Amino acid sequence: MVTGVASMTGPEWVPQSCTLPTEEQPLRLAEWDALFATQTAGPYRPDALRVRLELPSGSGSEERARDLAERENGCCSFFAFTVTGTPEGVVLDIAVGEEHEAVLSALAARADRAAAPGGSR
């Protein structure tokens, strides 16, 4: 199990089961950070194995979230993504199995930092 995930900012928390080439991992992480920076509210954790992000409507937000989720599933199939367009915006739900809770926690911590005042927006 990965410990101290809340403070992890680099790709060191990426699980070994990820098949994305190591040299591409920082680029993908930057894509997630850019998406997190568009949140309209802080991430919501209904339980330890799920996180929900609220993204803005318009500007291709739904397509961007769907594209990133699809590409992420290509290398990290343990993620379950659900992208839902609503009149108010886009909801991105991310779920994992128990064995990947630490990975989700690290991702949620990055999203939380981006949503905080003075975060990476």
* CATH code of 72's domain: 3.30.70
- Give the highest mean pLDDT range of 12-16, 24-28, 31-35, 90-94: 90-94
Quote the domain boundaries for residue 79: 43-121
> Mean pLDDT score of the chain, rounded to an integer?
83
Which of 38, 23, 46 is CA-nearest to residue 104? 46
Tell me, what amino acid is at 7?
S
27 vs 70: CA distance, rounded Å: 16
* Position 84 in a domain: yes
116 vs 87: CA distance, rounded Å: 24
User: Phi and psi at residue 86, in whole multiples of 5°?
Assistant: -125, 165
Write the pLDDT tens digit of every residue in 72-98. 998 888 999 999 998 889 999 999 999
- The reported pLDDT for the residue numbered 119 is 57
Write the pLDDT tens digit of every residue in 44-81. 999 999 999 999 998 799 999 999 999 999 888 899 99
pTM of the predicted model over 0.95:
no
Total domains in the fold of the chain: 1
* Position 68 in a domain: yes
* Position 5 in a domain: no
* Position 72 in a domain: yes
